[in-house]
Structure 1
Amino acid sequence: MIFRQLFDNVSSTYTYLIASRKGGEALLIDPVLEKTEHYLTLMEQLDLKLVKVLDTHVHADHITAMGALRDRTSCVTVMGEQSPVDVVSMRVSDGDAVDIEGFSLTAMYTPGHTDDSYCFRTDDRIFTGDTLLIRGTGRTDFQNGDAGRQYDSLFNGVLKLPESMLVYPAHDYKGDTVSTLGEEIAYNPRLQVKSREEYIDVMNQLNLPNPKMMDVAVPENMKVGLNLERQRQVPTIEAGALLGREVDKLILVDLREDTERARFGVIPDSIHVPYGQLEMQLATLAQTDGRPVVFYCAVGERSAMATRLAHANGIDHCAHVPGGFQAWQSVGGAIKEV
């Protein structure tokens, strides 16, 4: 496995690069905008293809690189379903998998630092965002933070995992790079409490100043998506117009992943080509007998990128559904369970 822990000195943010092999698919966790070129250079040097980038929550101390990386690489953006960000390619909930070739993360909903905070774990390590820091925990006094919910996320969730699990946080201000759950249970002063009430009292007395970047970072981080205006910069067919079309006269392609299809259902008579496999299937999709290809995903971000990719590869009669499956639902489109 390729694993890199990268650091931004200004915001004390750790970004994690993961891939199963050289030449394979890669994932980035909590990237920082100012480091975008560094990430892309490293991908090139390691012969990796960035396919997914995720943020553990809406950050207040730096601007995320999610949007910039999506625009440069056409990767999928991932956040928790509670995130207030305008458009995210793929939203996950507690227990969902975030997969790339040869590697999988499991999402854990861990509210408290913010109401959209997630941790992501494997069998031997956990990426804790700001929920659990090395010898600390994330503050709970803004962005709908809640000390009681953080206590529950920690003591009834994260700390129930094996003590040998490696802890990789989103920040460190002392120079530490990694810990274990066992170390944190034994030595983290925030965890040496006897009750939920005591933890709440400890957190409520911190009286910390707001992050210097908060007034800039939070608004910027909430509008990183391909909104409807940008989605309509490529050929489209609106969800309402799709209702009246005869499906056998077009090829309707669902770009979402299995977990999304299983949870929400599909548009009847659509075929499944996950976005990550689209490039391999373009030659097949080009054999359409003149029928237009129409892409859809969850909210239109992946399908807009797919339309650009298809046009660049000679598939002229293609479009996508802006707003994606959500737009289809909003106009009362039929849904088939998977």
Structure 2
Amino acid sequence: MIFRQLFDSVSGTYSYLLASRKGGEALIIDPVLEKVDRYLQLVNELDLRLVKAVDTHLHADHITGLGALRDKTHCVTVMGEQTKADVVSMRLADGDKLAIEGLALDVIYTPGHTDDSYSFILPDRVFTGDTLLIRGTGRTDFQNGDPRQQYESIFGRLLKLPNETLIYPAHDYKGETVSTIGEEKAFNPRLQVKSMDEYVEIMNNLKLSNPKMMDVAVPANMKVGLHQDDIAGRGWSVTAEVALALVGRPDVALIDLRENAERERHGVIPGAIHLPYPRLQENIAAGGMLHELARSTGKRLLFYCAFGERSAMAVQAAQDAGIASARHIHGGIDAWKKADGPLVR
């Protein structure tokens, strides 16, 4: 496994780049906007291909790099399903897998610092966001934070991992880079409590000032979605209502870009071809399956995904590859459900 821990000294944020060598797929956790060029330089130096950019929660102390990384690499943006962000490509739920080629992280919902906080687990390490810090825990006094929920997230879930599990948090302000579950059990002062009520008492009396960037970062981080109106303005999108009339037509091929877990949870538009987004480029290139489908049969390609972000990028890529008939469903399955579109499981 390729693993890099990167630091933004202004916000005290750690970002993590992970990959498994074979095809070079990589993901990054908690990227910072100002460091995007550095991340991309490292990705290039290591001969990797960034396919997912993930935030553990909606950050209040820095502006996320999710949108910039998506715009520069066409990667998939990922957050938990509770996020208040306008659009991310993929929303994860407790029990899901965050997967790229060669790596699969267990997804666990760990609210308390915020109501959209998640942690991600590999066999030997856990990425805890702001839920569990090194010799500390994330504050619980804004963004629907809740010290009782955080106590359950920490004591009921994270601290049940093996003692040797490495802890990689989203922040540190004292120069610490890594800890373990066992160390935090023994030495984290906020964990030396005898009850939930004692923990709540500590967290409710921290009297911390708001993060300096909060008034800027939170609104910015809620507006990270791809501007699908730009694609619509070029005539490359259809509404869910228009798409309803296209389902089943012999001259239209529906292309589902989502991953298997998303399809299983939310259902599939009847008759759709499953082609996961990471395989798009090989299929729209000359000689690829979608390129040939459009060229030899004259079918119009209609892409869709969860919220329209992956499909908007797909239709742009297809147009660039010369597939002039390509369109996508604006708003994805989310819009399809609101239009009472049929789904099968």
Give the shorter-chain TM-score range.
over 0.9
Q: Normalising by structure 2, what TM-score?
A: 0.96
Query: What letter is aligned with 1:30?
Result: D
Superposition deviation, residue 312 in structure 1: 1.2
1:303 aligned residue (296, 306, 311):
311
2:191 maps to which residue? 191
User: Which runs of at least 4 in structure 1 moved beyond 3 Å after TM superposition?
Assistant: none
Identify the residue that residue 212 of structure 2 maps to in structure 1: 212
Give, in whole Å, the separation in 2 of the partners of 1:230 and 1:154: 43
Aligned to 1:38: 38
What is the one-letter code of the residue matched to 1:126? V
Deviations along 1:5-30, one digit per CA (max 9) or x if unpaired, are: 00000000000000011750010000
For residue 316 of structure 2, what is the amino acid of its counterpart? R
- 1:265-310 CA distance string (max 9 Å, x none): 1000000000011112221101221110010000000000000111
Q: Secondary structure at the match of 1:28?
A: strand
- SS of aligned partner of 2:238: coil
Q: Which one is further off, 295-304 or 322-331? A: 322-331
Seq. identity, %: 61
Q: RMSD of the alignment, in Å?
A: 1.0
Q: Is the 8 A contact 1:247 1:269 kept in 2?
A: no
Q: For residue 226 of structure 2, what is the amino acid of its counterpart?
A: L
* Unaligned stretches of 5+ residues in structure 1: none
Say which of 315, 323, 326 aligns to 2:331: 323
Q: Say whether 1:290 aligns with 2:298.
A: yes
Distance 2:95 2:22 in 1: 28
The match for 1:256 among 248, 253, 258 is 258
SS at match of 1:307: helix
**If the length of structure 1 is used for normalisation, what is the TM-score?**
0.98
Counterparts of 2:117 and 2:320, CA distance in 1: 37
Give the letter for the 1:68 counterpart. Answer: A
What per-residue deviation string (whole Å, max 9, x for no partner) do you get for residues 180-230 of structure 1? 001000100000000000000000110011100000000000000124424
Match of 1:244 in 2: 245
Residues 208 and 231 (structure 1), Cα distance of their counterparts in 2 relative to 1, 3 Å cut? farther
For 1:241, give the aligned amino acid. Answer: V
- Name the CA distance, whole Å, in 1 between partners of 2:244 and 2:328: 14
Alpha-carbon separation, structure 2, partners of 1:233 and 1:156: 49
* Farther-moved stretch of structure 1 (244-253 vs 212-221): 244-253
Residue 56 of structure 2: aligned partner: 56
Alignment-derived partner of residue 116 in structure 1: 116
Q: 1:143-171 deviations in whole A, cap 9, x for unaligned?
A: 11000110011111111111111000000
Deviations 1:23-81 (A, max 9, x none): 50010000000001101111111111000000000000000000000000000000000
Q: How many residues align?
A: 337
Residue 274 of structure 2 corresponds to 272
User: 1:109-130 CA distances to partner (integer Å, 9 max, x unpaired)?
Assistant: 0000000000011111000000
Correspondence 1:336 to 2:344: yes
| Other structure's SS at 1:325 match | helix
Q: Which runs of 5+ in 2 are unaligned?
A: none
Give the direction of change, closer, same or farther, for the CA distance of 1:141–1:24 in structure 2 (3 Å limit): same
Aligned to 1:153: 153
Q: Which amino acid aligns with 2:160?
A: K
